[in-house]
Amino acid sequence: QVQLQESGPGLVKPSQTLSLTCTVSGGSITTNEYVWSWIRQPPGKGLEWIGYIVYSGSTYYSPSLKSRTSISRDTSKNQFTLQLSSVTPEDTAVYYCASTGTQTNSIATMDSWGQGTQVTVSS
């Protein structure tokens, strides 16, 4: 089973771009065994799927966040990155990276998770 670890700033100012990195160990992000997702949980709310990237580098995003989201990868470091632009306080959440074996936005199918990282949007 792969291991995932999120990293990035814990505080972002409104209107700026949130950028988080997920470092993967125990598996390669370039194999077709896994699909790599970003998920978040705002305070007091449920989990929300943001998007995923697959072994070829193709991406798929939640329609509600698509205009502000970009997921990319660095194959040399076995990492994938989330960028969320024009953030507001409503983007404050715990952000997780996760993996599953199929191209899906179903959070229930994720079988490996990072520990999560708190991101607060505030001036």
Opening angle at CA 70, ends 103 and 45, nearest 5: 75
pLDDT tens digits, 52-81: 999 999 999 999 999 999 999 999 999 999
pLDDT > 90? residue 1 = no
Start-end of H helices in 1-123: none
User: What does the pLDDT look like over 79-100, one tens digit per residue?
Assistant: 999 999 999 999 999 999 999 9
108 φ, ψ (degrees, to nearest 5)? -65, -20
Average per-residue pLDDT for the chain:
96
Q: With bands split at pLDDT 50, 70 and 90, how would you rate the model's confidence at 29?
A: very high
Cα distances (angstroms) measured from residue 103 to each of 32, 62, 107, 116:
10, 13, 11, 21
Counting beta carbons within 10 angstroms of the beta carbon of residue 55, is it exposed (0 to 12), middle (13 to 18) or buried (19 or more)? Answer: middle
Q: What single DSSP character describes residue 12? A: E
User: What is the rounded distance in angstroms from the CA atom of residue 30 to the CA atom of residue 33?
Assistant: 9
- When pLDDT is averaged across residues 24-28 and rounded to a whole number, the result is 95
State residue 13's pLDDT score: 98
